[in-house]
A = this chain, B = another copy of it.
Amino acid sequence: MIVTEKDTKFVYAFEEGQKEMVDLLGGKGSNLAEMTRLGLPVPSGFTISTQACLNYLKNNKLDSELILQIEKKAEELEIKTNKKFNDLVSPLLVSVRSGAKFSMPGMMDTVLNLGMNDVTVETIAKITGNSAFAYDSYRRFIQMFSDVVKEVDRQLFEQELTYYKEKQGYQYDTQMKERDWKIITQLYKEIYANEVNEQFPQEPEKQLLESIEAVFKSWNNPRAKTYRRMHAISDDLGTAVTVQEMVFGNTGMKSGTGVAFTRNPSNGKQGLFGEFLINAQGEDVVAGIRTPQDISQLAKIMPEAYQKFTDLAALLEAHYHDMQDIEFTIEEGQLFILQTRNGKRTPRAAIEIAIDLVEEGVISKEEALKRLTPQMLEQLLHPTFVAKELAQHEVFAQGLPASPGSASGKVYFTAEAAKKANQAGEKTVLLRKETSPEDIEGMAISEAIVTAHGGMTSHAAVVARGMGTCCVVGCEKLQIEEGSKKATVAGHTIEEGTVISVDGSTGCIYMGEIAKEKPTDESTALGKIVSWSKEIGTIKVMANAETEKEIAEAFQLGAEGMGLVRTEHMFFGEKRIVEMRKMILSPDPTAKKAALMNLKTFQKEDFKVIYRLAKEKSATIRLLDPPLHEFIPVGKEVAKMATILGISEAEVNQRIANLAENNPMLGHRGCRLAITNPEIYEMQVAAIMEAAIEVTEELGNESVIQPEIMIPLVSIEKEIVFIKEKLEKIISNTFIEKGKEIPYLIGTMLETPRACLIADKISKHVDFISFGTNDLTQLTFGFSRDDIGKFVNDYERQQIIESDPFQHLDKDGVGKLLKIAINSVKENESSDVSIGICGEVGGDPQSIEFLLNEGIQYVSCSPYRIPAALLTIAKLNIS
């Protein structure tokens, strides 16, 4: 290693640093230096660099050069403070604190009151005229030093003190007198001697070096390591150590200590927000034994100090361009700033503060967006349980957090029962083994949906996210007996009508109702973030939405258009499903055809609603995707259907049996339906084109609708060729019938591995391609999202998978297929096919970076995920 000046200078006085030196001096050290540089009243001190820490951790001892530098800076500190270690008149006491580059609150060690010994304690008692304070300070030092430096169990000290107070009949520390603290100090020194086998060290220099060494070591204590792993902080950074003159807030009624935020960290409102305690040290505030006063009260008690603090707080916020969390101490009327840092805040406050700072001209829009996370926006859109209430409820089951939100209601085991209860005014929670398209109405009216099986892209999860309804899936421990209308889990029995509460952000389920708080009116704030994100982002965000309500919401939340309009849900209305079943089950071709024509009428009206909302914006309509057996009647419906069809129940059952499949996921669905039954897609496309032409005429000169037709589940080039030819014939017939032509696009979904592998060939025949990552993930892994619940918990427990591939794109597998597909399409230079994604991961911030890098041109996701997706894209462009 080449020795440079930097390598040989290990210790920096506060005056020598600045905030940019955070790598070397840590967060705390560089901030103290910065504040010193700004002329703030910061107790003097110096910082030992992270470099020194790393050297120490490598060699396991303090370098002699380092010791020399520490001693030199300690001497300078004595001069600056006009105090001296061991001095009989003006003794120097210091704190020794850790301070890494990234804040790791409470994870590493701190020693306060260093410099105390049997002589100094008396001097301090004399100077302050407060002997109890002096001995209390000394015993605190002994306890911390023993714990941090010598690893003596702190419980030994606590027990001794508790025992002593009991003996004396004291309830609080404040009842302890000078004599009591003296006795305690003596007892503490005895514990030290017993445990460490030496007398408590009296030399401040020895105390200092040993404390510094201990703080260095604490970089590698287990809880620090865990914290770093959890927060993705590198183990190679090391911590700096700050040595700073002690100031005391507990010297009497003219002293005090407090913490204040420059803005409200809960809602972001402007104005100081914080609290303080008179005659107290910082740890007393934290311990919560005495209830602190609101910071505004300080104006009355110490107007001068308050005014000074207010000014300094403003100065600091302006300097750091962000809301500050400031620790201060007042020693005998004199204000000291001990620490400042960017304040932690709620998502809501984060957004408000970011917006306010932009509007105050403090930061740019880009900077504001950088400070926000997609999770903040998601939280903003859903109610949450009141924290206090939540603490009083036991989690009795947990599943996958499929769609965020917090909801309570009465449990129902079928969609019909839920619907009925809802019509009777009940709030319902739909509890199912798994949901299917027939459940759609029961889902729509429920407050929350819970399923025992299925993963993050199961039917329940996808639909719930689309609706913005709170949903927990794959709650495998729930034993649901739909027949007897009950569910059991871990000894609890839930019957129809039992009230439960569901947290869709954590997957936790609670018994009983829990109070909720709604985010108030967030539209202004959210609207601003969405609009700034759209200004800055590089690719479009579309919505997966099909109902009028969803589409309207999607546009309000920032969608550029609809990237996936599913048509299958449109067939489940009461009248429609009968026509659908006629079409599928009738033995009479004429009746089949009539049913198809009736369906066309319904579909056309659906599409007109969509086009009136979307106008010239994209609305990509996917043709029928699920297998026909999803639409067949069950139970009593069979007999009803037999009557309608005029055939026997047995024949209906026979026809239903013929439709059954072993692996529906790999079965007769998607474009395969169009090879065997071209009339279905032909009907849909005729309905689309007629609707588009009619709405175009309604709109006059305002907009021309350009239908986008998407063919699902292609895996063979000739599938798309065959279907496209048939559809184009229908389209040109419609143009002739209507006497009007409009532009249109035909595209396809890439959702089988084979489609990705031959994407270059497929793309020659289409105007756009859209990756359907839900099915693609199922096929790439060979995981059925409906069945994954049987083993996914074990997979997570054994860390076989790091994250659910239906939630976060599997880059190694599915991602590689996307890459192969996109590259092959782009190699064809004449191709101007647009490339998007409409699977669930399209709305997942973790996945969007990968998608952007690979050249995806738009993402489409459920409406409620749009703001987060927009923010993610904007932030990627900024960085």
Contact = CB atoms under 8 A, between A and B. Distances in A.
Interface of A: 434, 661-668, 672, 675-676, 713, 715-716, 718-719, 722, 751-754, 757-758, 761, 775, 778-784, 786-787, 790-791, 794-795, 798-801, 810, 812-814, 816-817, 820
A813 B715 contact: yes
A784 B817 contact: no
29 contacts: A434-B662, A661-B790, A662-B787, A663-B664, A663-B665, A663-B786, A666-B779, A666-B784, A666-B787, A667-B787, A668-B791, A675-B794, A675-B795, A675-B800, A715-B780, A716-B781, A716-B800, A718-B798, A718-B801, A719-B800, A722-B798, A752-B780, A753-B780, A754-B781, A754-B782, A754-B814, A757-B812, A758-B813, A761-B812
A795 B673 CA distance: 11
A676 B791 contact: yes
A434 to B, nearest CB: 8
A674 to B, nearest CB: 10
A664 B668 CA distance: 16
Given A663-B664, A754-B781, A754-B814, 14 more contacts: A661-B784, A664-B787, A665-B666, A667-B787, A675-B795, A675-B800, A676-B790, A676-B791, A718-B799, A752-B781, A753-B779, A757-B813, A757-B816, A779-B779
A800 B718 contact: yes
Top 10 A-B residue pairs of the complex, sorted by shortest distance between their CB atoms: A666-B784, A754-B813, A663-B784, A753-B753, A662-B786, A668-B790, A752-B782, A667-B787, A663-B665, A661-B787
A31 B148 CA distance: 102
A713 B812 CA distance: 17
Nearest to A789: B668
A801 B663 CA distance: 21
What is the copy number of this chain in the assembly? Answer: 2
Contact of A783 (B666, B675, B784, B791): B666
Given A753-B813, A754-B813, A800-B675, A662 B791 contact: no
- Which of A675, A757, A758 has most chain B Cβ within 10 Å? A757
Nearest to A810: B754
A784 B662 CA distance: 8
A782 B675 contact: no
A744 B800 CA distance: 25
Contacts of A664: 662-663, 787
A680 to B, nearest CB: 13
A758 B663 contact: no
- Which of A722, A754, A784, A800 has most chain B Cβ within 10 Å? A754
A778 B661 contact: no
B667 A790 contact: yes
A780 B757 contact: yes
B753 A817 contact: yes
A652 to B, nearest CB: 15
A716 B817 contact: no
Contacts of A795: 675
Contact of A666 (B661, B715, B782, B816): B782
Contact of A715 (B661, B676, B782, B790): B782
Contacts of A722: 798, 800
Nearest to A454: B662
A663 B758 CA distance: 26
A820 B821 CA distance: 13
A751 B753 CA distance: 13
Contacts of A716: 781, 800-801
A627 to B, nearest CB: 9
A780 B754 contact: yes
Contact of A780 (B779, B783, B801): B779
Contacts of A761: 812
A578 to B, nearest CB: 24
Contacts of A753: 753, 779-780, 782, 813, 817
A801 B810 CA distance: 30
A802 to B, nearest CB: 9
B752 A791 contact: no
Given A663-B666, A779-B779, A781-B754, A791 B715 contact: no
Contacts of A662: 434, 664-665, 784, 786-787
